[in-house]
Amino acid sequence: MTPGVVVARDGNDLELWGWQAKGYDLPESLSFTGKSGYRTTRLGDARVNIPGTELSESWIVIQGGGMSTLLVLDQRPQSVNWEKNAQGSMSLVVVFSGRPARAVVLSISADAPLDEHECRFWAKVLRRYPVSASECVCRDAASQTQSCLVRYNYLDLGQDERNAVVAAAAVPMLASLAREHQFPGLAIEGVQKTGYVSEHAPYLLKANSDTVTYRMPAPDRSKVMKGFGELFARSRVERNVHGGLGEKEMFRRTAEWGFDHCRYALAFDADWDLPLVSFRGGPISEDEALWKRLDELIANCNEAGMQMMLCSFPEIRSRDWKAHPDRQRTIFEFWRRIAQRYANLPDWAISYDFFNEPAYMNTDHYKEIMKELTAIIRSVDKRHMIVWESGDGWAQPQWSGWMEPVDDSNVLYSFHHYGKHWGYAYDEYYPGYQATFERTQVDVWLEAILFGIEHHVPIHCGEFGLSMIQPGSDGQAWLNDYLAFFERFCIGWNWWNYSGHDIYRTGLAMGDRISPYVPTLRRWTARSGWGLHGSAATRETGLNARAANR
């Protein structure tokens, strides 16, 4: 909401010190507007005393160490002193006649110097300090756009008789980032660029207003998918039992819960799964019975009205694939055969999540893999969505910037992130006492969100879950906040997993025993975008299309 930070104490003075202890150089100068104009005083080891009567405006700026720092004071000071404190360090002490002592601190890189004009501008703006905001989003179905309105509430930090306070409404930083990266269809009017630039984008604001509005394309809800994951397809359908239910019953139940897709994991080197690839280097199975079993698995999922998102769990490492290129060729050919086999299914029926949690990958090599395999798939299947997970760190969101988008518009870029997970042996209270976790848990997704904005692509959480030990309904509260964050940023998700054997971990069902997280998940699946469960007409269309492709 603002680049400034309010500092305050009960006493009548503010002391700034500790630069060198934190690895910074001491300030070199102090500037302010006096009765005779703009003044700059050099700072060193000697004591400096500036009586408050010499300041004609209630702000000062200190410079040095590559930064300029503005202090906007809520009252005229009695004195400003540069002196050595009890710890033997030079410090800046601002003394006031009244209490509490308050100021807004703004630091800007020396590349954008705070001159007198800029300081006066910021002093006017920061005296009305934004502390909260209300947001309203209105979607226009006809134009497929949405208008966003943000209105701020302020803390008034007093008046300066020389300069009237200016209300200003900030453009949300992610919207500013989108503007910098020319996000298609984004329109932000009537705002000005300030001298403050965060690590991501410039700070934009609309002066003389407490409200800012902007327009943007409405999110493509077909990409905001909400599903669950499972593994172990089994070579015979009667052996594929999860949570006490057979395959068809599992798909029917999860569709009734509102899920719109199942991310099914195909494991390599596993005789308990569909052994379509015998070893890492092949060969690929030519047993048509096994391939027909995969057909059956997909058909049963589609019959319930859900998309089948196929995902492979191979061991993918740059060092291994560079030493044994046949292994890379085998997996590429495996996916080519799958795409060719299901190319004529309806658009909604299947998608391809190529590699689960790639790790130990070289950056350039992974980018090559993404481009090459995308081209191979599109040579035989141009209609179905593909999914690329971030590498190299087991698809964690912090690694999203490591990817380079492929030249294809029907792609989801996926990350994985869990809450308290198996092996976490401590009681967890949520929200914690005086804790900020519930307000900052979105921070871990920031790299993925930035990636989506900068490259104009949809992002997706391909795995998440929760298995914390908690009192009462704290786990449901955590999950509800988590899903609300996803909804806010239009991020689809996939809960891992359904299996009832994991009901005290992340499993959702074991016969009639249903995880307490299911009702919370259902509240949010009801807001899903394309899911066939949401419309009887859509469901009928999908099933008819499936029948036509038999």
pLDDT tens digit sequence for 20-46: 888 889 999 999 999 889 999 999 999
Domain boundary among 106, 127, 148: 127
Asked whether residue 182 falls in the same domain as residue 287, the answer is: no
Domain boundary among 85, 109, 127: 127
Partners of 135 in beta bridges = 150
Cα separation of 293 and 212, whole Å?
A: 56
pLDDT for res 203: 97
CA-based radius of gyration for the chain: 29
Domain that holds residue 182: 129-217
Asked whether residue 408 falls in the same domain as residue 260, the answer is: yes
Per the structure, the count of domains in the chain is 3
Asked whether residue 259 falls in the same domain as residue 281, the answer is: yes
* pLDDT of residue 469 exceeding 90: no
Q: How many CB atoms lie within 10 A of CB 37?
A: 8
Cα separation of 72 and 102, whole Å?
A: 9
Domain boundary among 202, 217, 232: 217
To 5 degrees, how large is the angle CA 384–CA 296–CA 332?
Answer: 45
Average pLDDT over residues 339-365: 96
pLDDT for res 164: 81
pLDDT for res 278: 80
Determine if the pTM surpasses 0.85.
yes
Residues in the chain: 550
* pLDDT of residue 540 exceeding 60: no
Asked whether residue 146 falls in the same domain as residue 119, the answer is: no
The average confidence (pLDDT) of the chain is 89
pLDDT tens digit sequence for 199-234: 999 999 999 999 999 999 999 989 999 999 998 788
Asked whether residue 189 falls in the same domain as residue 199, the answer is: yes
Asked whether residue 255 falls in the same domain as residue 276, the answer is: yes
Asked whether residue 199 falls in the same domain as residue 306, the answer is: no
Asked whether residue 510 falls in the same domain as residue 488, the answer is: yes
Cα separation of 474 and 469, whole Å?
A: 9
Asked whether residue 452 falls in the same domain as residue 372, the answer is: yes
Asked whether residue 284 falls in the same domain as residue 317, the answer is: yes
Confidence of residue 434 (pLDDT cuts 50, 70, 90): low
Phi, psi of 402 (to 5 degrees): -75, -20
Cα separation of 181 and 445, whole Å?
A: 19
CATH of the domain at 390: 3.20.20.80
* pLDDT of residue 161 exceeding 80: no
Asked whether residue 527 falls in the same domain as residue 401, the answer is: yes
* pLDDT of residue 379 exceeding 60: yes
pLDDT for res 35: 86
Partners of 230 in beta bridges = 264
pLDDT for res 424: 60
The alpha carbon dihedral of 412, 415, 419, 420 has a sign of positive
Q: Do 351 and 385 contact (CB within 8 A), yes or no?
A: yes
Average pLDDT over residues 309-335: 92
Confidence of residue 316 (pLDDT cuts 50, 70, 90): confident
Asked whether residue 430 falls in the same domain as residue 495, the answer is: yes
pLDDT for res 535: 42
pLDDT tens digit sequence for 471-501: 788 889 889 988 999 999 999 999 999 986 6
Average pLDDT over residues 131-138: 95
Give the lowest-confidence range in 54-63, 99-108, 266-275, 464-473. 266-275
Average pLDDT over residues 389-416: 93
* pLDDT of residue 159 exceeding 60: yes
Confidence of residue 189 (pLDDT cuts 50, 70, 90): very high
Q: Do 176 and 201 contact (CB within 8 A), yes or no?
A: yes
pLDDT for res 437: 60
